[in-house]
Amino acid sequence: MKKITIFGSVGYNIGDEAIAVAAANKLLEIDKDLIITISTLKKGVIEGKYTGLNEFYLQRNNLNGWKHLFEQIKDSDLIVLGGGTMVQDKLGISVTRGMIPYMLQLTLISKILRKPVITLPIGVDKLNTKLGKVFSKKFLNSIDKLYVRDEQSLSLAQNYASKLNNGTVCSDPAFFLEVKEGKIINSRKYVTISLVNENLDKSSFIPAIKDCINWIIKNTELDIYLVPMDRRNEEELTLFAEIIGKNDSSSSERIKIIDAEQNVFQITNILRNSELLIGMRLHALILSIGYTEIIGISRTTKTENFFKEFGLDYFDINKKSINKEELTSLVKENLLSLEKSNRDNIINKLDEKKEKYETGMQEIYSYL
């Protein structure tokens, strides 16, 4: 039986988990006898939560952890890197710290052990450091096959690598995550909200979000589900606690923070069964598209590209703060409309992406 190990940043970010789980299950659909292991930064994220998938707890902060890493790669027939934005230096970089050095380390170890290395469809960002560009060139020129999630990522990768001729645009696996658990049984309908807490001017969106929540509570019977896509308390869970803390106590039972320790199937079920998503996190948007109405809040190029591709309404907080009245008006329009907005365009786009995704996953399997 062939063995695949997927290395990424699964553990805290639920979007990264959705990518890995969706890709792993698709590969198992192609060949049910595969042994697939997903590396994690936190114990117990995969093991016991996903049938047929194994977990490798990654520890790079001690020699024993590196020993286990070598053994895991040596025991694998194929090393898969991704997904998410793997080529980026905006969160910091040094010789040993950062996403690009991590990817390069895994690639070099794999090459020493003569293992093929490919990526899931990853994002490639604009790099701001010399070290980031040097490491990216080495990484991109060393892997056997690069899959990226959009044309912009491919263009940037080609700029960074001197001899990149193996890049292909493929669809993010999370678009096609097949939920393996039953549909939520919930007698009350709800609106989902996904936010981000990453060095942003919160005054550009939090006041409008609070006003919008108040309008929904006062004028509809819908509940509010605040959906974290990162399990760390310092991320959006902090924003959600602030929103609930400052809300009218009489309506607090209708505003709920979703348990971030749930698996990605459970989180996806919540997103897909909502009446409307007001979303900032890319993978909250990806997991919801085609299932529920979406109003977007953009803070990065990747989310802006997503909204433009699917023809969705969105606010760009890099340009200006969200106008409270505009957001509430848009929410009202979406909730009261009997017709799904832009439905045909969304279906056509997803069909195109699915064709690329099916082809890409078959190609990944062919490297075994």
Residue 97 contacts residue 133 (beta carbons within 8 Å): no
Q: What is the band of 163 on the pLDDT scale with cuts at 50, 70, 90? A: confident
How high does pLDDT run on average in the chain?
92
Residues of each domain in the chain carrying CATH 3.40.50.2000:
190-337
E strand or H helix at 244: helix 238-245
pLDDT value of residue 272: 96
Residue given tokens 């979303």 in the structure block: 279
Distance CA 99, CA 56 (A): 18
In the CATH hierarchy, which fold is given to the domain comprising 3-178+352-365? Rossmann fold (3.40.50)
Distance CA 255, CA 308 (A): 30
Distance CA 324, CA 211 (A): 7
Selection from 100, 5, 93 nearest residue 53 by Cα = 5
Portion of the chain with pLDDT greater than 90, in percent: 77
Q: What is the pLDDT of residues 7-19, one digit of tens each?
A: 999 999 999 999 9
Residues of each domain in the chain carrying CATH 3.40.50.11720:
3-178+352-365
Three-state secondary structure along 151-171? HHHHHHHHHHCCCCCCEEECC
pTM of the model: 0.94
pLDDT value of residue 338: 62
Residue 91 contacts residue 98 (beta carbons within 8 Å): yes
Q: What is the pLDDT of residues 323-338, one digit of tens each?
A: 999 999 999 999 887 6
Contacts of 167 (CB under 8 A, 6+ apart): 146, 147, 148, 154, 157, 158
- CATH homologous superfamily, domain 190-337: Glycogen Phosphorylase B; (3.40.50.2000)
Distance CA 270, CA 227 (A): 8
Phi, psi of 5 (to 5 degrees): -115, 130
- 3-class secondary structure, 314: strand
Copy the structure tokens of residue 90.
């905006």
Q: Over 80: is that where the pLDDT of 250 sits?
A: no
pLDDT value of residue 337: 76
Phi, psi of 82 (to 5 degrees): 135, 180
CB atoms within 10 A of CB 249: 8
Per-residue pLDDT, averaged over 154-174, amounts to 89
